[in-house]
């Protein structure tokens, strides 16, 4: 009985396809062998045929090609400006922040506030997430008064 290899890297599977294709093994047989060693979810028969076609057309690289990504509008300068705006008035609403930066989407500003600056709303005041439970309790007690 053959040992099954779990969770192989994509380039590993493509290397096997390239190797077997160079030995003139048919795509259906390549797929059968891949399933036998790597399991049912390794790659579909159609994808094996696609990679065989690409290797026959002269492709030699088994790694993914670099994809173009949309440049991020979030930079350190913007994060600093948003942080300064928050520290001016901690009782602001997100609407006030959106009005202060109309050129940026609500999603971008929300991501900056929650993910980059790690702020969260506590008793109608924006505070860093770094507060301990003691700080939060003291702040909550003051809010009740």
pLDDT range class, residue 122, cuts 50, 70, 90? low
Q: Is the pLDDT of residue 140 over 80?
A: no
Residue 1's pLDDT band (cuts 50, 70, 90):
low
**Mean pLDDT of the residues in the chain:** 85
Which run of H or E residues covers position 15?
helix 10-22
| 127 pLDDT above the threshold of 70 | no
- The 10s digit of each residue's pLDDT in 69-111 is 777 778 888 889 988 888 888 777 778 888 888 888 888 888 8
Residue predicted with more confidence, 96 or 11? 11
At residue 123, the pLDDT reads: 58
How far is residue 21's CA from residue 17's CA, in Å, rounded to a whole number? 6
**Model confidence at 5, in pLDDT bands (50, 70, 90)?**
confident
Does 66 or 123 have the greater pLDDT score? 66
pLDDT at 125: 64
Cα gap 23→25, rounded to integer Å:
6
Can you spell out the DSSP letters for 17-49?
A: HHHHHHTT--HHHHHHHHHHHH-TTS--HHHHH
Nearest of 7, 47, 11 to residue 30 by alpha carbon: 47
CB-based contacts of 81, cutoff 8 Å, min separation 6: 101
pTM of the full predicted structure?
0.49
Reported residue count of the chain is: 145
Predicted pLDDT at 45:
94
Residue 6 has pLDDT above 60, yes or no: yes
CB burial class (10 A; 0-12, 13-18, 19+) of residue 7? exposed
Reading the block at residue 98, the tokens are 């959106």
Q: What separation in angstroms does the CA of 107 have from each of 20, 68, 102?
A: 48, 22, 12
- Residue % of the chain over a pLDDT of 70: 90
């Amino acid at each position: 009985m053959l040992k099954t290899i779990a969770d192989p890297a994509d380039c590993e599977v493509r290397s096997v396809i390239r190797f077997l294709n160079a030995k003139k093994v048919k795509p259906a047989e390549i797929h059968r062998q891949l399933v036998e060693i790597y399991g049912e979810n390794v790659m579909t028969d159609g994808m094996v045929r696609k990679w065989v076609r690409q290797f026959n057309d002269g492709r030699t690289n088994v790694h993914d090609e670099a994809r173009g990504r949309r440049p991020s509008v979030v930079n350190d300068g913007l994060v600093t400006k948003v942080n300064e705006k928050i520290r001016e008035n901690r009782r602001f609403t997100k609407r006030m922040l959106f009005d202060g930066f109309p050129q940026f989407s609500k999603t971008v500003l929300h991501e900056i506030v929650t993910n980059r600056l790690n702020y969260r709303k506590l008793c109608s005041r924006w505070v860093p997430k770094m507060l301990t439970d003691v700080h939060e309790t003291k702040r909550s007690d003051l809010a009740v008064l």
